[in-house]
Amino acid sequence: MASAITALSTITVSNSPSSVTFSNIPSSYRDLYIQVSGTSSSVQQISLIFNSDGTNGNYNWTQVGADPGSGLFGVGLVSSDRVRLGYSGTTASSHFAHIFEYSQSKYKEIIARTSTSTTDVRLVGGQWRSTATISTVKVQVDAGNFVNGAKISLYGVST
């Protein structure tokens, strides 16, 4: 039986970009999965933007997390122009995001987990309010840059 996971693309960052983009994503999988492993130039949120849609209000997200200082916390619902996955770190961080039913005529649901050595761990729920098939995913540092060597990988999940 074939693997249900296919590695579609991995970008190893050079030249300290503020974002990377996966384009021409095939529509033949059921779900997508993104893994971000690496650091950024400052502690910033990592965000996803689909099909270049930067319209404020087209995304919702909420986060729940914990850190050593404040314990359990909730960020609350945010209507936005992106889905924020939680903070990157300057020493280490990782982000994992499921993108459900990306080629179906449904709003796209995102479930993500984040950890960073400098602040906290978070669970993230997100939504892109579009029924369009996702063909591009931009992964960005909201205010800063990826540090060279960061790896951002895109996978397809088959049924």
Instruction: By CB under 8 A, tell whether 105 contacts other proteins.
Output: yes
Q: Which of 52, 131, 148, 149 binds other proteins (CB under 8 A)?
A: 131
Q: Nearest distance from residue 129's CB to other proteins, in Å?
A: 8
Instruction: By CB under 8 A, tell whether 12 contacts other proteins.
Output: no
Q: What distance in Å separates the CA atoms of residue 91 and residue 37, rounded to the nearest whole number?
A: 11
Instruction: By CB under 8 A, tell whether 81 contacts other proteins.
Output: no
Q: What residues have CB less than 8 Å from 69, skipping those under 6 apart?
A: none
Residue closer to other proteins by CB (options 32, 145) is 32
How many positions of this chain bind other proteins (CB under 8 A)? 45
Check residue 69 and report its DSSP letter. Answer: T
Q: Nearest distance from residue 15's CB to other proteins, in Å?
A: 25
- Residue with structure tokens 């021409």? 24
Residue closer to other proteins by CB (options 43, 121) is 121
Instruction: By CB under 8 A, tell whether 125 contacts other proteins.
Output: yes
| Residue 96 near residue 33, CB atoms below 8 Å | yes
Going edge to edge, which strands form the sheet with 137-141?
19-22, 137-141, 45-50, 83-87
